[in-house]
Amino acid sequence: MVIKGFLLQVVWFFLIVSSSSYASVESEQKKYDKLQDKWLYKSYYKLSKKTIKGITKVYNLQADETKQVNSSNTHALLAFMWSMGVNKKFAIADSSLANKNADSIKEQYIAQTVLTIAMYNRGWTELAKDMTQKSQHNPEFSGLSEKFHKEQLFANLMIGSLAIREGDLKVTQEAFNKIALATDKPWLPSLAKTATLAANGSILDAIANTKTLLADPTLTAYEREQLEQLKEKLTKDGSTGESMDIAQLVDRLIFDSIKTESNQAYQQLISQLSDYIENVS
């Protein structure tokens, strides 16, 4: 009887948790729908749709035929740039445009990935988790995270960035190992692991990892400065639910560290998107 009563309590607990989670998803979905109806969101959506088409065309005129991109690729990159603590609403708008313009399953997957990152950054955690579960159960997306070449730096960065927020060490390591091989920056997987540890609540381990990273003699002055900031943030704020801020700091550091490894035309694309962000902000 005691065991039976205990089992009933366990079942009841999980029913309550499940019900609460479902209610949160519904609530956050309503907020998402409401955001898309706002004048500012709609105005930006129209502006970005038109402007990014032009920026993409200019890039393709300069790039090799094998390195051409479409509007979906550009919107996804821009959405990620917005997500690095710049503008959470516009990150969602460009993620949606990336999805709308996607021509392949891989492009849909990346668009869904950056949209989920934007949801996490917006604070819509349950909706983000729900989107991830739907992606994981989509047979067309099965195994896609492993199918991006190491040279596809920013696709791997987006995949790894989402994995950090979800505390998924396996996918984090896979994505950032590829980036490390392509950029000759062997410390990147350790940095990504540090952010993942912080997301999982292992703050002391994250701080210890950061101290080890700072001993790497190959770091640039900028990278060392950013890691010092990360260590300080972990020490001060790590235990107070600031994991999203930490993830964004790591995103910015890795983004800045790998953008110079891209081909010249792609660097110019990033520069144009940076100018666009500055003008719109």
- For residue 11, being part of any structural domain is answered with no
- We report the CATH number of the domain holding residue 210 as 1.25.40
- Over residues 247-270, the mean pLDDT reads 86
Pick the closest to residue 213 from 195, 236, 238, 237 (CA basis): 195
Q: How many domains does the chain have?
A: 1
Q: How many CB atoms lie within 10 A of CB 197?
A: 26
Band (23; pLDDT cuts 50, 70, 90): low
- For residue 265, being part of any structural domain is answered with yes
- Over residues 251-264, the mean pLDDT reads 85
- For residue 75, being part of any structural domain is answered with yes
Q: Is the pLDDT reported for residue 53 higher than 80?
A: yes
- For residue 74, being part of any structural domain is answered with yes
Q: What's the pLDDT score for residue 15? A: 43
Q: What is the pTM of this model?
A: 0.86
Q: Is the pLDDT reported for residue 127 higher than 90?
A: yes
- For residue 15, being part of any structural domain is answered with no
Identify the three-state secondary structure at position 242.
Answer: coil
Identify the three-state secondary structure at position 122.
Answer: helix
Band (86; pLDDT cuts 50, 70, 90): confident
Pick the closest to residue 175 from 167, 184, 166, 163 (CA basis): 163
Q: What's the pLDDT score for residue 257? A: 84
Domain residues for 74?
25-280
Q: What's the pLDDT score for residue 184? A: 87
- For residue 2, being part of any structural domain is answered with no
- For residue 255, being part of any structural domain is answered with yes
Is the pLDDT higher at 113 or at 142? 113
- For residue 7, being part of any structural domain is answered with no
Percent of the chain residues past pLDDT 90, beyond the cut: 52
Q: How many CB atoms lie within 10 A of CB 76?
A: 28
Q: What letter would DSSP give residue 66? A: G
